[in-house]
Amino acid sequence: MKINYLKNILMSSAVAGAVSCGTGAAPDLSSVQDAGDKVKRVEPLSWWTGMKTPLQLMVYGDGISEYDVRMEGGKGVKVQTVHKADSPNYLFVDVRIAENAAPGTYWLVFSRDGEIFKYPYEIASRAAGSAARGSFGTSDMVYLIMPDRFANGDPSNDSAPDTAEKADRSEFFGRHGGDIQGIIDHLDYISDLGATVIWPTPLLLDDEPEGSYHSYACADYYRIDPRFGSNELYREFVQEAHGHGLKVIMDVVTNHCGEAHWWMKDLPFKDWIHQFDEYTGTNVCFSTNMDPNASAYDLNLQESGWFVPSMPDMNLDNPFVLSYFRQWAVWWAEYAGLDGFRVDTYPYNEKGPMSEWCSSVLKEYPSFNIVGECWTSSIPQLAYWQGGNGNKDGFDSHLPSIMDFPLQEAICRGLSTDSMAWGEGMVRIYDCLSHDFVYHDLSKMMIFAGNHDLDRIGDVLKHNPDRQKIMLAMMATMRGIPQLLYGDEMMFVSKDRSQGHGGLRVDFPGGWEGDSQDFFSEEGRAAAMTGTDGKPVPEGRIAELHDYARTLFQWRKGKKVIHDGKTMHFLSRDNTYAYFRYDDTDAVFVFINNSRGKKRIPWSHYSEIAGGLHDGRNVVTGEVMEISDSTVVGPRQALVTEFKRH
């Protein structure tokens, strides 16, 4: 006992002496024992020199709050403040990294009553140009993938020994085996389609006992789900995507975690999550965020109520929670080399802390784009969430981009009907876009006809390939940042629409060994005789739709007038719709005939912009196009023509 006591005193003195030396030689820690299982977690997993985001380590271990902690091992890195939590098993450690700090392995040194042990912590050099990285915008097309349903590149990881749910491809809400390797294997397909950005739904560990395939109930914010791959493979995927000219958006969830998250067994603070005497769900009343008449009671329920019973609601008003999520976002951006974020369930978060979160990310990466899922049909309420909007209450979300749900609703309701009743058909889209004056920045709006949470647009359009092509033409030519759900380029439909999300999130044919059809290959598309619901499709329509989408989106890549041009549209009440995208030198004319009969283009209606247009070309066929009153567009057809101006 006496010998061990003297040994601990000597080691403690050595460390204390090094601290007092400031920038002197690093202490000799070789005789200090490693932490072993005393420290179970330290998050973030690592950090970098030259970052603007303050570093606050969350240290987790049995009784760890009883220990003093200091940082040793090099120059310019030291512990500033240590915070205890409600649980004795956490410490929150503020670490200062000086501008002249040297990259390398540092040591968190813990000591108590003569006991001392160390834990390694890596601080690397920030990559050159990291802060100046670009992001996604109007020149891009975003391809949305649900990884579990896209392609199975590594069958060996379909199930993992340390996760609860095992793979069963026959289950609508089960894991089917798609993974990161499957995405890597098909980057050529995505790039060839004309996409320039990949948005995979979350890839972090979701360890719920069932329905975990979507990964929106996170169980570990710093670990890729082993059934998808690993942290290293995710970083490799981003690098491979960049090599194919593709950017990568990470889908992040700050509003809630999953019940299976490791901290749910031992919360750092009682208010780490929102807790009630009994389960209390959110009232989903987004208007409480901007309604001057809203009660504090309703606002609290909107922010604090749980999304669903399996998804505990995070309390971003707790400054340690907010700090955790600020660092987490920056860590993944830096570690993986990301190009942007999509934030799930954005208005369910506390709006003040989320404004700080956005500001923090943008301070680190000024050109970074973040798009928020603000799911509302109300145009004024949607506009409220975009950063820089002139809100009456003075609130600024600092959220650069928003998802255009009102336009999505207008497209689905307008395209799916033959009705020419007042306000029906294509007039819905005209009316929706007539409200563009409400928005702060039209270039920072993600437009889409469907996503992983909505009915497949192929189902909405009643499995009609011609209307599907109209949708694709609009996605390629309207203002904003277009997003396409995987398979919508070939009119994927639900396998069983009655199964809701599980039925619409269909497997991509060809992504699994033994598939009878392969829609990734040109030959497989040409030979396809059934759709994703197993029912026959008209001969050649799968390949026709794909090639139509590829032609439009490849053309769109280099069409600056589509990226940055203005819009002028024209009202009609015969289920047609016409609009121009234009600038000083170029124009793109789109005429949509969603009716059951042929329609003559009324060029005289467009004289204010049609004058001076010349050198017309049909974008899809390459044919020369003249401005002529004899031009006729067939039923349920879209004409896309590019012109020079003046």
Active-site residue set: 344, 373
Find out whether 361 and 328 touch, Cβ atoms under 8 Å. Answer: no
3-class secondary-structure state, position 105: strand
Find out whether 107 and 93 touch, Cβ atoms under 8 Å. Answer: no
507/425 Cα distance (integer angstroms): 32
**Token pair for 126:** 């920030």
Find all residues with CB under 8 Å of 347, minimum gap 6, and list them. Answer: 286, 289, 302, 372, 374, 375, 376, 385
143/483 Cα distance (integer angstroms): 6
Strands (E), 426-522: 445-448, 481-485
**Token pair for 576:** 């047609």
The phi, psi pair for 366, rounded to 5°, reads -60, -25
Q: How many CA atoms lie within 13 A of 487 on its CB side?
A: 32
DSSP per residue, 527-577: H--B-TTS-B--TTHHHHHHHHHHHHHHHHHT-HHHHH-EEEEE--SSSEE
β-sheet bridge partners, residue 105: 122
Find out whether 491 and 463 touch, Cβ atoms under 8 Å. Answer: yes
Helix/strand/coil (H/E/C) assignment for every residue in 283-303: CCCHHHHCCCCCCHHHHHHHH
The phi, psi pair for 621, rounded to 5°, reads -95, -20
Closest CA to 619 of 594, 638, 599: 638
| Cα torsion 563, 470, 245, 358: sign | positive
Phi-psi region of 127 (alpha: psi -120 to 50; beta: other; left: phi over 0): beta
**Torsion angle in degrees (nearest 10) through CA of 570, 575, 581, 584:** -40
Burial 546-581 (b: 16+ CB within 10 A, else e): bbbbbbbbbbbeebebbbebeeebbebeebbbbbbb
Closest CA to 314 of 57, 322, 252: 322
Find out whether 32 and 59 touch, Cβ atoms under 8 Å. Answer: no
239/226 Cα distance (integer angstroms): 19
263/280 Cα distance (integer angstroms): 20
